[in-house]
Structure 1
Amino acid sequence: MRILVIGKGGREHTIIWALKKSSRVERIYCAPGNAGISELAENVPIKENEFDKIAQFALDYAIDLVVVGPEDPLAAGIVDYLEERNIPVFGPRGNAAIIEGSKVFTKELLQKYKIPTAAYESFESYEPALAYVRKQGAPIVIKADGLAAGKGVIVAQTLAEAEKALQDIMVDKVFGEQGSQVVIEEFLQGQEMSILSFVDGNVVRPMVPSQDHKQIFDEDKGPNTGGMGTYSPLPHIPQSVIDEAIETIIKPTAEAMVKEGRSFRGVLFAGLMITENGPKTIEFNARFGDPETQVVLSLLETDLLDIFLATINGRLQDMDIQWSGDTAVCVVLASGGYPGSYPKGVPIYGLDEVQDSVVFHAGTTHKDGQVVTDGGRVLGVTARGASIMEARAKAYADVERIRFEGMQYRADIALKALR
């Protein structure tokens, strides 16, 4: 089969890496791809939002399946666009991708169907939102309604931080129209957990759980990022808690979307908090997470192409999906200055010295024959082992072999599991 993957990050690199294992895959293209992806697939100079060019390429090159990685084209309806042209595509339609595209929609859905989540209010105007925050106090969570590249959520520890977040989002429009509404939530305490699931309507097939590290610095300090590292599975979280999250949150949400006429088909990503009162929903995403995909797909033993095809053809319920008993750890290497402004075009050294990890490229490109940085999160160094300690040791040993000016990373990925 000939496959076209849409995207250019670590998630897409990992999806392609996993698809390459399938004996049924003849050739993979990626639009637009990155330097690491070019070693496994043919990069195509088409942007994720150029639907017409993507469709024409799929038709011209007899593509058998399009796999959509990022949230922006999903929310904009790329799946509907391709399906209308009889191009097979993996991912949710636009009316289902709204579960990530609008936090207000998601909170109202969860409230309507009594699915556990944080208490909240939503606002379209700055002054009422500010008054609510001052009444509630801190810590408190401020969320831009729309897509904001993983940076539209501010966990404000002080009232001053909350007020600044509202000013940034609603007045200064740092996220543009994506911040025309905000959701203000109670602050939940506990362990975070991510569960990605293959979903086709009412059929839910959960993947192994993982835990992301959102803040830029060790010990969960500093501003949120798109994710600085992750690991899977989670030996310190009881299986009973994981099962409870699946039965009380993920499955009911998939069923609620069907009832709302928004049947979800693709990967549903549940961001959860394990509180004293059980699992609660932080957010839903409509696609594979990044960097969760790097560890989760590293542990997948079933052919990923078979799962994709079963999902879009209504056969997911017949799939027996198998996972390795190993552990995987991913450490993200980021550009200096991230998640603020950062340079691009910085040469990367040591990639050929890596020994025990797979390095998934997130923000890289080629310049004068050299792999250089091209984003905030640059690489995801991912290793497998029989235990968290073994996988961590392998990943961090290979992190030490990679060098670029300004490189920063967290040194505490997966330590929560060991504590």
Structure 2
Amino acid sequence: MEKQVNVLVVGEGGREFAIAKKLVESKHVKQVFCAPGNSGMPAVGVQPVDIAETDFAGLIRFAKNHEVAWTFVGPEDCLVDGIVDEFAAAGLKTFGPDARAAQLEGSKDYALNFMDNYHVPTACHAAYRDQTAAISNVDQFGFPVVIKENGLAGGKGVVIAQTKAEAIETIKSMFAGGQARLVLEECLQGPEYSMFVLVSNGHYRILPMAQDHKRAYDGDKGPNTGGMGAYSPLPQLDPTDYQKMVDQVVKPTINGLVEGSYHYHGILYIGLILTTDGPKVIEYNVRFGDPETQVILPRLKTDLFELVEAAINDQPLPEIKEDDAACLGVVLASKGYPVKPVHGQKLGEFPHQLGIEIDYANVAGPLDDLKGAGGRLLMVISKEKTLQAAYQRVYQYLQALDEPECFYRHDIGKKAGLK
């Protein structure tokens, strides 16, 4: 039998829960550590490590002391802050882009300039460092207009202003809140899709597609959140449109990474909108998305360890094999999220049920007496032969819960025709 190795996942949320759980399945893995992890992880064989994800020196010491083969970085802020660069300087392997490449998520303006330079279709846009200039030019984008904070905002730094008055108020608020720069964009119309590409210096593999739901409430109402639910596959996505996404978006993006001499061994998320003019990019992220990861990885038949191992070592990437089954997940969030979520509410125990998986995120305490510890608490997931069956199983489970200090969306999957 070949030697098994230890791996480390950095992060603590539902995304990292799903990544670590998938790595546990690999025959090549001896132990999966997750720093700092969360209290639900031991239930799936993952060992939390009490080191903050921002403590790069502590993480490096741990990786060396525990003979970690490589580290999978989950959160975007760590990548933007240069965790990959620091690990490389210490002689350690990581899966994730370096700080320069991570600017594709760290700065909206930087990403849009990259798209312009390498002919990746996106919205008409402009960046402003001055409030007066932004307000003076807002009319040229039409209404509604998309207003984005330039830096990292956890998926919540985007406002779609319906009127000029709302746009002006938003611009003033963002600059008053400390933003040094913001981006104005035309509001693209069409269905949105999440594409995740595993990248290894010019080589790539496209993972199963998913659809996220960013708004807090049913019918895509309310403020933007980090994501309230997702599903995969996408029966409404025509194969011809998918191929356009590959040819018109993925290929020029990968070519841009090569031409720009980017060090990129990691996941690239491409947020797409299918307009009447074809696919256009809303944004790049330089890591897996939450909650899409929780429904993509259960459908991935290819060994995740083997994919990452090959990417890190510049070896040929294994082919992606997808499970025919469908996966749907709904986020249970704290009341008041994302504006002012309740903290510390008693959640109790989430009963085991056939066909239901729980991916824990912002929770604390033992699994039989959980308490809330943040905005998005956990995700209820089902994998079934059809999306309809997964949809029904998830919502039957959620409807049986008694969690007055929490809420969830009731329409995840409706865009795929689910009832």
> If the length of structure 2 is used for normalisation, what is the TM-score?
0.96
What does residue 203 of structure 2 align with? 203
What whole-Å deviation, never above 9, does each CA across 1:202-245 have from its counterpart, x for those lacking one?
A: 11200111110000011101110000001111101101111111
Matched, 1:133 2:138: yes
Distance in structure 1 (CA, Å) of the matches to 2:392 and 2:230: 14
Distance in structure 1 (CA, Å) of the matches to 2:215 and 2:372: 21
What does residue 147 of structure 1 align with? 152
Over the aligned positions, Cα root-mean-square deviation in angstroms equals 1.5
- Given that 2:190 and 2:274 are in contact with CA atoms closer than 8 Å, whether structure 1 keeps it comes out as yes
Structure 1 runs not aligned, ≥5 long: 174-178
Question: The residue matched to 1:405 in structure 2 has which SS?
Answer: coil
The CA deviation at 1:401 is: 3.7
The CA deviation at 1:64 is: 1.3
What does residue 264 of structure 1 align with? 264
Matched, 1:219 2:219: yes
Matched, 1:355 2:354: yes
Distance in structure 2 (CA, Å) of the matches to 1:395 and 1:119: 39
What does residue 96 of structure 1 align with? 101
- Given that 2:364 and 2:372 are in contact with CA atoms closer than 8 Å, whether structure 1 keeps it comes out as yes
Distance in structure 2 (CA, Å) of the matches to 1:168 and 1:333: 29
Moved more, 283-292 or 36-45: 36-45
What does residue 334 of structure 1 align with? 333
The CA deviation at 1:371 is: 1.3
The CA deviation at 1:169 is: 1.3
Q: Give the letter aligned to residue 264 of structure 1.
A: Y
Distance in structure 2 (CA, Å) of the matches to 1:389 and 1:74: 37
Distance in structure 2 (CA, Å) of the matches to 1:82 and 1:251: 29
Q: Give the letter aligned to residue 234 of structure 1.
A: L
Distance in structure 2 (CA, Å) of the matches to 1:401 and 1:89: 42
What does residue 128 of structure 2 align with? 123
What does residue 245 of structure 2 align with? 245
Matched, 1:285 2:290: no
- Given that 1:350 and 1:403 are in contact with CA atoms closer than 8 Å, whether structure 2 keeps it comes out as no
Q: Give the letter aligned to residue 38 of structure 2.
A: N
- Given that 1:14 and 1:360 are in contact with CA atoms closer than 8 Å, whether structure 2 keeps it comes out as yes
Q: Find runs of 4+ consecutive structure 1 residues off by over 6 angstroms.
A: none
What whole-Å deviation, never above 9, does each CA across 1:299-346 have from its counterpart, x for those lacking one?
A: 00111101110110112x441221111111010110000011122111
- Given that 2:272 and 2:282 are in contact with CA atoms closer than 8 Å, whether structure 1 keeps it comes out as yes
Question: The residue matched to 2:17 in structure 1 has which SS?
Answer: helix
Matched, 1:69 2:69: no
Matched, 1:27 2:31: yes
Question: The residue matched to 1:116 in structure 2 has which SS?
Answer: coil
Distance in structure 2 (CA, Å) of the matches to 1:225 and 1:241: 27
Distance in structure 2 (CA, Å) of the matches to 1:156 and 1:206: 33
Question: The residue matched to 1:258 in structure 2 has which SS?
Answer: helix
User: May I ask how many residue pairs the two structures share in their alignment?
Assistant: 413
Question: The residue matched to 1:348 in structure 2 has which SS?
Answer: strand
Distance in structure 1 (CA, Å) of the matches to 2:6 and 2:398: 34
What does residue 115 of structure 2 align with? 110
Closer, same or farther: CA 135–281 of 1 in aligned 2, 3 Å? closer
- Given that 1:349 and 1:403 are in contact with CA atoms closer than 8 Å, whether structure 2 keeps it comes out as no
Distance in structure 2 (CA, Å) of the matches to 1:140 and 1:275: 16
Closer, same or farther: CA 112–242 of 1 in aligned 2, 3 Å? same
What does residue 416 of structure 2 align with? 417
Q: Give the letter aligned to residue 397 of structure 1.
A: Q
Distance in structure 2 (CA, Å) of the matches to 1:213 and 1:369: 29
Distance in structure 2 (CA, Å) of the matches to 1:16 and 1:283: 26
The CA deviation at 1:86 is: 1.2
Question: The residue matched to 2:379 in structure 1 has which SS?
Answer: strand
- Given that 2:216 and 2:228 are in contact with CA atoms closer than 8 Å, whether structure 1 keeps it comes out as yes
What whole-Å deviation, never above 9, does each CA across 1:158-189 have from its counterpart, x for those lacking one?
A: 2232222212211232xxxxx31111000000
Closer, same or farther: CA 172–88 of 1 in aligned 2, 3 Å? closer
What does residue 176 of structure 1 align with? none
What whole-Å deviation, never above 9, does each CA across 1:93-141 have from its counterpart, x for those lacking one?
A: 1111111111101101111122110000111111100111145442010
What whole-Å deviation, never above 9, does each CA across 1:377-403 have from its counterpart, x for those lacking one?
A: 111111111111111011112223444
Matched, 1:400 2:399: yes
Distance in structure 1 (CA, Å) of the matches to 2:391 and 2:105: 31
Distance in structure 1 (CA, Å) of the matches to 2:295 and 2:367: 32
Closer, same or farther: CA 305–244 of 1 in aligned 2, 3 Å? same
Percent identity of the aligned residues? 37
Q: Give the letter aligned to residue 344 of structure 2.
A: G
Structure 2 runs not aligned, ≥5 long: none
Matched, 1:365 2:364: yes
Question: The residue matched to 1:97 in structure 2 has which SS?
Answer: helix
Distance in structure 2 (CA, Å) of the matches to 1:65 and 1:123: 40
Distance in structure 2 (CA, Å) of the matches to 1:412 and 1:157: 23
What does residue 7 of structure 2 align with? 3
What does residue 12 of structure 1 align with? 16
